[in-house]
């Protein structure tokens, strides 16, 4: 059994869906679980619907209409007007519209999940109908009833013990199964989401529960490259990397793999293929245990929109365990993830993603005990397997704010 995952970039238009059909046709006699994301930038668009809904703004209807138009345009290019896919997709949009007609509860993360989860439900319906129309026999599943999570809305954790029997019961029959990535459900039946870009993780979690032979995530790139080609166009493909290397890359922010994806696969030694959606015959990159040591080129990871926060105790005490533990308790409370930290005698600096709301709440909470300064619009660049030349290249004309070098990794905060 294999797991295939198709992301938003692959499913961004009618041609993308046709290409999924071409790929799946080659596997139609096999045991395959297909995981799909929302189409194109639908999740971002649904986040706008959610924001307007929470703000009680009438703009929520316009935002929803745009998403509808996008999907119905794709339906019009793929299906005859008489196809019942139109009715089915309309039914999902009706449910979503009914939802945004209600008054939001105070649990805004819960509300987020009830709205944003529609992206995957709708895209999977469209893919299902398209594959059927291409003669492929398959079963569509609502993963919210099978992948059981806790109620930590917006960042829900999969409850493996509860999910494994359900997943096995439904997906064990040989054939083609289709379900949604990124979403799950609580035991009470409420929709949850696993954190942005979480579909890769769904694929890995299913592979773990089903003891799959391999996972393939189909992307709009030739595989895992030594940099994001949007930033460094001459980036080269890595043919194979270890689980450990992939975890490091994802941890530092390489967008091509979601950070939680690798661990379940590593635990069961299931290889992960990252393959080019546009050239399915090409090998892509494999992530697995490797016996031989392979030489890797410098690998660049850029994180933009960083803010460097410098925290100084008001009582002029040194930065020590008690201060640091207090600072981290505030960070945890405000769900702020630290990308890099540095300490001196009287100041503790952290580099985090810029999020105005979280930052303000954090500053407000800290202000009685600490003086806090911050500097925005910074970039955090990580180079794995760095060379002097690679460091020079990324610095260019930028001003270095922090430079941190370890045996395999160089990290720079630059302005
Ligand atoms: P999807 O959501 O469709 O699965 P993503 O957009 O999440 O795909 O991931 C693919 C994108 O990741 C590519 O378009 C590429 O710009 C970006 N990317 C960032 N770092 C890398 C890297 N090291 N190798 C390949 N792609 C990368
Ligand atoms: N659709 C979700 C997102 O855009 C999940 C995913 O694509 O992995 O975050
Ligand atoms: Mg993605």
What was the pLDDT predicted at 319?
80
What was the pLDDT predicted at 198?
95
Question: What digits encode the pLDDT tens for the residues 327-352?
Answer: 999 999 998 999 999 988 888 999 99
Among 297, 293, 301, residue whose Cα is nearest residue 379: 301
Q: How far apart are CA 160 and CA 310, in angstroms?
A: 39
Report the 3 state secondary structure along 345-366.
CCCEEEEEECCHHHHHHHHHHH
DSSP string, 228-277: -TTT-TT--B-SEE-HHHHHHHHHHT-TTS-TTSHHHHHHHT--EEEEET
Could you tell me the distance, in angstroms and rounded to a whole number, from the CA of residue 401 to the centre of ligand 3?
30
Two tokens at 291? Answer: 């016996």
Of the pLDDT bands very low, low, confident and very high (cuts 50, 70, 90), residue 62 is very high
Q: How far apart are CA 25 and CA 250, in angstroms?
A: 32
Q: In what order do the strands lie in the sheet with 138-140?
A: 138-140, 176-180, 32-36, 2-6, 214-219, 272-276, 285-287, 240-241
Question: What digits encode the pLDDT tens for the residues 204-252?
Answer: 999 999 999 999 999 999 999 999 999 999 999 999 999 999 999 999 9
Strands 214-219 and 183-185, how do they pair? unpaired
**Beta-carbon neighbours within 5 Å of ion ligand 3:** 7, 197
Ligand nearest to the CA of 202: 2
Q: Is residue 316 pLDDT above 80, yes or no?
A: no
Could you tell me the distance, in angstroms and rounded to a whole number, from the CA of residue 55 to the centre of ligand 2?
23
Residues framing ligand 2 (Cβ under 6 A):
7-8, 37-38, 43, 119, 181-182, 196-199
Residues 92-128 as b/e (b if ≥16 CB within 10 A, e otherwise) read ebeebeebbeeebeeeeebbbbbbbbbbbbbbbbbbb
Cα–Cα separations (whole angstroms), residue 54 to 29, 102, 127, 196:
46, 10, 30, 19
Cα–Cα separations (whole angstroms), residue 373 to 172, 310, 311, 313, 376:
55, 5, 7, 12, 10
Ligand nearest to the CA of 236: 1
């Amino acid at each position: 059994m294999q797991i295939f995952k198709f992301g938003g970039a692959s499913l961004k238009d009618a041609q993308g869906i046709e290409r999924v059909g071409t790929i799946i046709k080659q596997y139609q006699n096999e045991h395959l679980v297909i995981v799909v994301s929302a189409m194109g930038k639908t999740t971002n668009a649904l986040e706008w619907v959610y924001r307007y809904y929470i703000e009680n703004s009438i703009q929520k209807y316009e935002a929803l209409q745009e998403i509808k138009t996008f999907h119905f345009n794709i339906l019009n290019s793929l299906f005859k007007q008489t196809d019942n896919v139109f009715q089915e997709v309309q039914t999902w949009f009706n449910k979503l519209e009914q939802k945004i007609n209600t008054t939001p509860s105070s649990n805004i993360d819960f509300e987020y999940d009830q709205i944003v989860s529609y992206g995957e439900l709708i895209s999977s319906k469209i893919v299902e109908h398209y594959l059927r129309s291409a003669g492929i026999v398959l079963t569509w599943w609502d993963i919210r009833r099978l992948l059981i999570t806790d109620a930590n809305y917006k960042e829900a954790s999969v409850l493996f013990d509860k999910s494994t029997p359900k997943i096995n019961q439904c997906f064990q029959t040989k054939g083609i199964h289709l379900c949604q990535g990124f979403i799950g459900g609580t035991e009470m039946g409420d929709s949850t989401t696993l954190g942005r870009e979480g579909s890769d993780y769904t694929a890995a979690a299913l592979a773990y529960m089903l003891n799959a032979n391999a996972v393939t995530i189909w992307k709009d790139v030739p595989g895992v490259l030594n940099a994001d080609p949007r930033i460094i166009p001459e980036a080269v493909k890595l043919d194979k990397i270890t689980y450990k290397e992939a975890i490091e890359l994802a941890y530092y922010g390489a967008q091509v793999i979601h950070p939680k994806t690798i661990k379940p696969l590593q635990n069961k030694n299931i290889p992960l293929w990252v393959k080019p959606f546009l050239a399915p015959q090409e090998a892509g990159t494999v992530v697995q245990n490797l016996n031989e040591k392979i030489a890797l080129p410098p690998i660049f990871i850029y994180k933009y929109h960083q803010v460097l926060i410098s925290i100084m105790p008001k009582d002029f005490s040194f930065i020590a365990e008690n201060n640091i533990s207090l600072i981290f308790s505030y960070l945890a409370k405000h769900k702020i993830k630290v990308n890099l930290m540095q300490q001196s005698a009287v100041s503790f600096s952290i580099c985090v993603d810029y999020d105005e709301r979280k930052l303000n709440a954090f500053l407000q909470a800290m202000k009685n005990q600490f003086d806090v300064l911050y500097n925005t619009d910074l970039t955090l660049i990580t180079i794995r397997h760095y060379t002097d030349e690679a460091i020079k290249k990324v610095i260019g004309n930028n001003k270095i704010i922090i430079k941190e070098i370890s045996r395999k990794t160089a990290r720079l905060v630059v302005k």
